[in-house]
Amino acid sequence: MSSAPVITATDVTKRYGDFTALAGVSIHVDTGECLAILGPNGAGKTTLTEILEGYRQRDGGQASVLGVDPNKPTGAWKAKLGIVLQNATDMADLTVSETIKHFARYYPNPADPDQVMAAVGLTEKANSRNGKLSGGQRRRLDVALGIIGNPEVLFLDEPTTGFDPEARREFWVLIDRLKSNGTTILLTTHYLDEAQYLADRVAVIARGRIVAQGAPDSIGNRGDAIVTWTEAGREQAQSTTTPTAFVEELSSRFAGEIPHLAIRRASLEDAYLELIAQDRQTNGGDAA
Amino acid sequence: MNTLRMGLGRVGIELKQFFRDKESAVFNFLLPMILLVIFGSVFGGQELGDSGITFSQYFVAGMIASGILYTSFQNLAISIPMEREDGTLKRLQATPMPRAAFFIGKIGMVFVAYVAQVTILIAVGVLFFGIDLPTTSFAIFTFVWVSVLGLIAWTLLGIAYSVVPKQGRGAAALVSPVVLVLQFTSGVFFVFSDLPQWMQNFASLFPLKWLTQAMRSVFLPDTAAAMEVNGSFELGLTALVLVIWIILGAILATVFFRWTPRGKS
């Protein structure tokens, strides 16, 4: 299933003055794969993404996107990328249809603007000014502009921030459809359920370092079970690899039923929070 | 070829945004008309000395020269910082659009906006203030080359000056004082030869003074040359000053223009 990587970064470093934004980051994304980059604010997600998009120059390490060094972008290379920016509010006075049709002119093999508009669910808003769109609609326009050039690689930087749950679901379906057409996707997000739904693999970044990388179901301690119950008037929780034995032992402490007993698999969020907490403990000394 | 095609496509997009943005439409496009109506109504009939020239006739030349400044310099020096802030420039950078196409779009927008503005200005002047139009082909030729050189110089300077405002918000506050000072010192609102010597010398360093003077050669009778400081409209010197400013503007724009906000590399 895995083929040649479309995106690779090897030991990429970036400093802003005294602040180390990336301290040697290595990732790869294979053809048709979706990699989600997770991490707290300021961890380096956007810096890494913008280095790969060609917006920022890295200080050290190697990077390649579709065989090209992002520090040396060409027009032909840009034509194969789709970039969905964070918090764009540009072109407020143009209509949705004008904007999408205009951007189609920049690409050698553009998608049909009407089809793209339908794919992102903005057909009814075709003649609305961009500045009058809701937050969710505006992001869908950004996605439309990201995919109008039929990109081979799509960068999504926190695409669903500010969405209501229904809009987020619709957005996921849209991205899933692009993925099934073979588009390679690099996603940064704060939403663990989003990464769980869309990503084939996730990379957790903290303080400019990758602290874990792998399939969403295997990352960190996701094999663990989490047992919760009530004891001494408080909710207790225990993460364990042997839940059956643990519950057996637990039941011996109670006369009958264990109050409020529940056992569940660790979620991606549990695994993520644990990874970030571990990183804080081990590197806490140099905390800002 | 591709660059030109995309650039022309951008002219249309730029014009739509220029006219649909109410602030820009009023501030950069309608302002000279508004000023002409106000000044024309208050002082219009007054004669300048015993020259037989009305203030309206003198003022319309200054307003057309100012129109060059409004549609190019003021427009770009305010709108580009906003586009740098709201993501327009960042988005364009990520597309395969050649960067030259962006500048073709800006220049095309400036020229179309100026032609429309001058047409309306002259129509208002003729209909309400009895402005006499130039009749000789020499005057019309002068009008065309002065407009073209002036637009190119001020477009380049607007692109260069767009790095001065750090933020889109508040850009106007850093741009309009420059425009106003140049207008007051260059003979737009006052008769240039009435200004103090030092003010005349100051204004002579910048292109607006030469544009207003050249526009007076177009709209005032030949006899009015005697009212100029040096007794002549100095068209040759005007061309020279404008070409120098075009070269300077091109250098400044090339060296200083940035696609990203300051503080982000």
- pLDDT tens, B213-259? 999 999 999 888 888 888 899 999 999 999 999 999 999 999 999 99
What secondary structure does DSSP assign to A253-271, as a single string?
Answer: HSSSSPTT-EEEEPPHHHH
Residues A9-21 pLDDT 10s: 999 999 998 899 9
Provide the token pair at A204.
């957790």
Nearest to B1 by CA among B78, B93, B113, B104: B104
Count of domains for chain A: 1
CA–CA distance, A114 with A148 (Å, rounded to integer): 10
Instruction: Average the pLDDT over each of A113-117, A169-173, B172-176 and give the range with the smallest value.
Output: A169-173
CA–CA distance, A127 with A96 (Å, rounded to integer): 6
Q: Is B96 on the interface with A (CB under 8 A)?
A: yes
Are A203 and A37 within 8 A, CB to CB?
yes
Cβ–Cβ gap B87/A89 under 8 Å: yes
Residues B52-76 pLDDT 10s: 888 899 999 999 999 999 999 999 9
Instruction: Average the pLDDT over each of A159-163, A266-270, B30-34, B79-83 and give the range with the smallest value.
Output: A159-163
Picking from B95, B99, B169, B264 by the largest number of A CB atoms within 10 A of its own CB, the best residue to mutate is B95
A164-173, A220-229, B205-214: range with highest mean pLDDT: B205-214
Average pLDDT over all residues of chain B: 93
Across the A:B interface, residue pairs with CB atoms under 8 Å apart total: 65
Q: Per the domain annotation, does A91 fall within a domain?
A: no
Q: Looking at the predicted structure, is the pLDDT value of residue A165 above 50?
A: yes
CA–CA distance, B108 with B153 (Å, rounded to integer): 14
Residues in chain A, total: 288
- Residue A286: Cβ within 10 Å count: 7
Q: Per the domain annotation, does A141 fall within a domain?
A: no
Provide the token pair at B218.
């177009």
Nearest to B64 by CA among B159, B160, B138, B131: B131
ipTM of the predicted structure?
0.88
Q: Per the domain annotation, does A137 fall within a domain?
A: no
Give the structural domain span for A270: 225-283
> What predicted TM-score, i.e. pTM, was given to this entire model?
0.87
Q: Looking at the predicted structure, is the pLDDT value of residue B192 above 60?
A: yes
Q: Is A145 on the interface with B (CB under 8 A)?
A: yes
Nearest to A145 by CA among A111, A184, A175, A194: A111
- Structure confidence at residue A57 (pLDDT): 93
Q: Per the domain annotation, does A254 fall within a domain?
A: yes
Q: Per the domain annotation, does A79 fall within a domain?
A: no
Q: Is A103 on the interface with B (CB under 8 A)?
A: yes
Cβ–Cβ gap B95/A149 under 8 Å: yes
Q: Per the domain annotation, does A233 fall within a domain?
A: yes
Least Cα separation, residue A287 to chain B (angstroms): 23
- Structure confidence at residue A36 (pLDDT): 96
Q: Per the domain annotation, does A119 fall within a domain?
A: no
Q: Looking at the predicted structure, is the pLDDT value of residue A190 above 90?
A: no
Give A210's strand partners. Answer: A205
Helix (H, G, I), strand (E, B) or coil at A157: strand
Cβ–Cβ gap A76/B96 under 8 Å: yes
Q: Is B6 on the interface with A (CB under 8 A)?
A: yes
Q: Per the domain annotation, does A267 fall within a domain?
A: yes
